[in-house]
Amino acid sequence: MTSRHLVDPELLPLLETWPTMTLTADLLPLARARDIPRPPVPPTDVSRERVEVPGPDGAPDVGMDVYLPGDARGPVGCIYHIHGGGYVLGAAAEMEFFLRPMAQELGCAIVSVDYRLAPETVHPGPLEDCYAGLAWTFANAGALGIDPARIGVLGQSAGGGLAAGLALLARDRGEYALAFQHLVYPMIDDRTCTGAPHPQAGEFIWNRGSNRFGWASLLGQEPGGADVPPYAAAARATNLAGLPPTYIMTGALDLFVEEDIDYARRLIAAGVPTELQVYPGAFHGFDASPDAAVAKRARADRNAALARALT
């Protein structure tokens, strides 16, 4: 059974340029080398600086890209960004086309972290890299012209999973207070790999096979077991109280739609201010489409939510 008839027709060209492949250990080097078409980086009055900051104890330094708006007046809010890629792919530099115009439009700083990838580094290594980068951001907020009371986290897909795990970790360690968590089709529940397949979601871009490989790579074991920690899979957390205000967006055909809706429901029940957007006819990564109306609407909704969170 296919869900293609449910796809928004304006999103179909994206499927032609971004075909679905099921990741395996053998295909991972090819996937990492694959050149996925990305929009050009538009001209902006935003600077970008690469920094290397101390990593977790005994681990390498963490690389980060720091974007600062050129016309900022006074301390600005900051988005701490975590890229996606199923825990096994991606790099901060690949998101410049997305981050530079966002910093310009929102008048904010953006710090984008390069965490170590799985399977070479399993949990908690990637999350601790993200925490080390967050610690540096807070420690250097004054020098960067950032208001430490307006630092929040944004992540897409696996980056959304790390963002959700980072919000839990920051809450529990009590060292840094995040102003918001903004989760874009977040990958937060390893049990999606072992549950019954969704009748419509997960056919395109990121499917069940890739999801199992991504989770097994991060965990260093097969997903779905009883001992998976909530910092690795945020949906495993039993206590969501005290997390920062949350925005979650996903597509109705995204493999993660059920886990994302359920996480939003549980956040609301825990008293966390939460906004959830589910876009019809949309699959994983749909907002990368430059022309589809549903993608434009999602980008506008996302930026409007970020603008509110940064204020």
Residue 301 DSSP code: H
- Catalytic residue positions? 157, 254, 284
By residue count, the chain amounts to 311
Torsion from C-alpha of 167, 171, 174, 175, nearest 10 degrees:
10
State which amino acid sits at residue 265.
R
Tell me the one-letter amino acid at 19.
Answer: P
The candidate with the shortest Cα–Cα distance to 281, out of 293, 269, 263, is 293
How far, in Å, CA of 271 to CA of 266, rounded? 9
In this structure, which amino acid lies at residue 32? R
As given in the structure block, the two tokens for residue 40 are 């050009």
Contact 104, 46 (CB under 8 A): yes
Rounded-to-integer distance, Cα 223 and Cα 53, Å: 32
Q: H helices within 44-146, ranges in order?
A: 96-106, 125-139, 141-144
